[in-house]
Structure 1
């Protein structure tokens, strides 16, 4: 796979007319859509930071078509970005389909030259973040997302893979360093320093942003997390697993957009999910029509946070006990009842360390969404800017505690209790 710093020969940005002609020449796409191409409806719906996304509908079905741009869409051509990210997204989707086919969209076509992936259109699914802003609950979410995370992390780890196979898998994703660099800067560095693209709710968060830039304890903590992100190739990560990368109905869950995929620390993906749920909880009061109107929703969110960790841990340990085939913790070293008991104790210690990583990465993901470049609609759609700043200040207060005092959070219940306390705190602006 050749990484392209500039668009390769033959690459072009597709517009609606171009896409219609292109898809007409792809048998699988044309069959899925049905009817004459001139009857297909095509609309560009991408609201993310990087890519074009088209919804195409025909007489018999629909497609979602995603094309990478040679730059960061949110910023423009001044920030070039390799098109190879489309290759890594396709590679991740095919890996995910092997382990959790019913939890990711089916890929129908991939064109590396055009940095394009065509996949099934998910309907009537919506972006989960939009549902959370509206106060919608999703009863099947916990089971689905914990199955996805547990299977993806376990089966790509040294617990499941022989060392040679794991190293080959790391190498297959190692070229996705441009996307990793975005994470390294926007999550682990920029919110803690003066950076041109940082933004926050002014003037109310000006003092908090300044404190974060001067907080050396926080700088040490985030730097330790960054080092782990840089150096710990534990498992294949989605790399951007937030509630904007999940599409849901009451009964179904689909994880989308794995273009940031790489081998990294497991806690990063788990922390991303928990962080986004906590932000939905702490933003909720800003969407109330009357005080207390969303208390039932907020209770569900915190219960979901607790269940995400609990069910993930249970499923991960179940896989470890029953399907370990990797070179880590060879069973030959743990024979007999005493050996089995000692290995089980080590499994519990492993999960405790993973929980600590998860708590730290949770904090990092919250902070970047409030003080960095890319924000989310949980806060952004709060119409009253002072109320928005209040919700964000509460989130930052929680995140700092999670990051600097990580060791004091030994259970997920401690995290949700801290979130409840933060929910009732009134910042002084």
Structure 2
């Protein structure tokens, strides 16, 4: 498939591409490109991802296709999403370099990004959660990543001119935003050819979602916020498949859905995936390991993630209270009591937004098009459906009653 100088790379043509690209060749330099080890590892829905290794080093090369990979050419998708991913990666690396891989090369015509190889023993966080591995620094690292990337791209830090310019740049990522609008906020609430669930066990549950008018009112409000609220540069797909981890390191990858949107969508996505992991644990229990202790660790991590994010985010706000940010000008909000009221109101709304988006993300992963391995790897369909039903029921409650929760501890208590 070729379009305007674009070709889909394979193992052979990628070797030639690297040889002609100094910024990549310098990382894996070898006189004989045929000796480069090239392995395709993309298990996502959209792109090809290659690990390229030589005796000199390793890199990752990612290429976006002009269609949805898991569906095929019948579902076209702009390859321009790679521009927004590369741009977001560079910005996020600048704001949180300990938790984002460095970009070495970007080719807009070929939709190719070359970046740091996140070396073993890093694994995808979702796989670690399924395996029951504890990551003691995960909450600290994710809170730091979210606080830095969200605060410094918001009007709490930027001038309105800077902010509007950045919003305008990322407005071009419209197709990926429309995909999210469809699969998160629309398809699960109507009959759609792409929806699926663990049938026949969840047939009634999927129908109940489609017939729940209160739920539809709430998801409409969340969709409006997603479409209209240009709060900060968000990752746009911050699930546990977009995070690579070891016990000491956390790396956030794949921000191709990035745009200026509501902060709560990123926070909510991560919360949602921890909750999905929690509800899936009973399906992974085995004789001698009932996973109860691990479920407790997941919930502790969930609480720590929000609480540490809250602390880090408001600390940045305090540090820069006299900075260029135009949301709350220091000349107006220099009274200590008023500043605390402003922060409290802002963070409460952000918390409720995050819970609402978390609920929407959970629902779409159970009765929508793209599911999660946490549940899909449970081979017994009855057991899988039972885990999914409990997650779905909790998510529906959370979306409808999110404003009644004041602390993350309240949310955890309701889920247990």
TM-score after normalising by structure 1: 0.94
The answer for the alignment partner of 2:331 in structure 1 is 332
The answer for the alignment partner of 1:26 in structure 2 is 21
The answer for the alignment partner of 1:288 in structure 2 is 285
Unaligned runs of 5+ residues in structure 2 are none
Say if 1:45 and 1:52, in contact at 8 Å, map to a contact too: yes
1:127 equivalent to 2:124? Answer: yes
Aligned residues: 412
The answer for the alignment partner of 1:248 in structure 2 is 245
The answer for the alignment partner of 2:338 in structure 1 is 342
Unaligned runs of 5+ residues in structure 1 are 1-5, 421-429
- Paired with 1:243 and 1:93, the residues of 2 have a C-alpha distance of 17
1:136 equivalent to 2:121? Answer: no
Aligned pairs (5 A) from 1:112-123: 112-123=108-119
The answer for the alignment partner of 1:312 in structure 2 is 309
**C-alpha deviations, 1:138-191, integer Å up to 9, x for none?**
111111111110011111111100000000000010000000001000000100
The answer for the alignment partner of 1:110 in structure 2 is 106
2:241 counterpart SS class:
coil
1:9 equivalent to 2:8? Answer: no
The answer for the alignment partner of 2:199 in structure 1 is 202
2:331 counterpart SS class:
helix
Deviation of the 1:367 alpha carbon: 0.4
- Paired with 1:32 and 1:407, the residues of 2 have a C-alpha distance of 50
Say if 1:7 and 1:83, in contact at 8 Å, map to a contact too: no
2:154 corresponds to which of 145, 157, 178: 157
- Paired with 2:16 and 2:317, the residues of 1 have a C-alpha distance of 49
- Paired with 2:311 and 2:210, the residues of 1 have a C-alpha distance of 38
Say if 2:2 and 2:8, in contact at 8 Å, map to a contact too: no
Aligned pairs (5 A) from 1:227-238: 227-238=224-235
Aligned pairs (5 A) from 1:91-102: 91-102=87-98
- Paired with 1:194 and 1:225, the residues of 2 have a C-alpha distance of 20
2:49 corresponds to which of 49, 53, 60: 53
- Paired with 1:358 and 1:351, the residues of 2 have a C-alpha distance of 10
1:257 equivalent to 2:284? Answer: no
Deviation of the 1:60 alpha carbon: 1.7
Deviation of the 1:7 alpha carbon: 6.5
Moved more, 409-418 or 12-21: 409-418
1:362 equivalent to 2:361? Answer: no
2:268 corresponds to which of 262, 267, 271: 271
Deviation of the 1:290 alpha carbon: 2.3
- Paired with 1:102 and 1:109, the residues of 2 have a C-alpha distance of 19
Quickly say closer, same or farther: Cα 1:221–1:283, change in 2 above 3 A: same
Deviation of the 1:291 alpha carbon: 6.9
**C-alpha deviations, 1:120-142, integer Å up to 9, x for none?**
11111110000100000111111
TM-score after normalising by structure 2: 0.97
Deviation of the 1:340 alpha carbon: 1.6
- Paired with 1:389 and 1:304, the residues of 2 have a C-alpha distance of 25
- Paired with 1:277 and 1:223, the residues of 2 have a C-alpha distance of 24
Say if 1:204 and 1:389, in contact at 8 Å, map to a contact too: yes
Aligned pairs (5 A) from 1:54-73: 54-73=50-69
Deviation of the 1:409 alpha carbon: 1.5
Say if 2:150 and 2:232, in contact at 8 Å, map to a contact too: yes
Deviation of the 1:293 alpha carbon: 2.5
- Paired with 1:248 and 1:165, the residues of 2 have a C-alpha distance of 33
- Paired with 2:75 and 2:157, the residues of 1 have a C-alpha distance of 38
1:113 counterpart SS class:
coil
- Paired with 2:243 and 2:325, the residues of 1 have a C-alpha distance of 30
**C-alpha deviations, 1:19-63, integer Å up to 9, x for none?**
001101122322211333111111111100000011111112111
- Paired with 2:308 and 2:164, the residues of 1 have a C-alpha distance of 29
1:214 equivalent to 2:211? Answer: yes
- Paired with 1:406 and 1:252, the residues of 2 have a C-alpha distance of 32
- Paired with 1:28 and 1:183, the residues of 2 have a C-alpha distance of 33
Say if 2:359 and 2:398, in contact at 8 Å, map to a contact too: yes
The answer for the alignment partner of 2:74 in structure 1 is 78
The answer for the alignment partner of 1:3 in structure 2 is none
Question: Segments of 4+ in structure 1 off by > 2 A?
Answer: 290-293
2:6 counterpart SS class:
coil
Moved more, 226-235 or 289-298: 289-298
Deviation of the 1:318 alpha carbon: 0.3
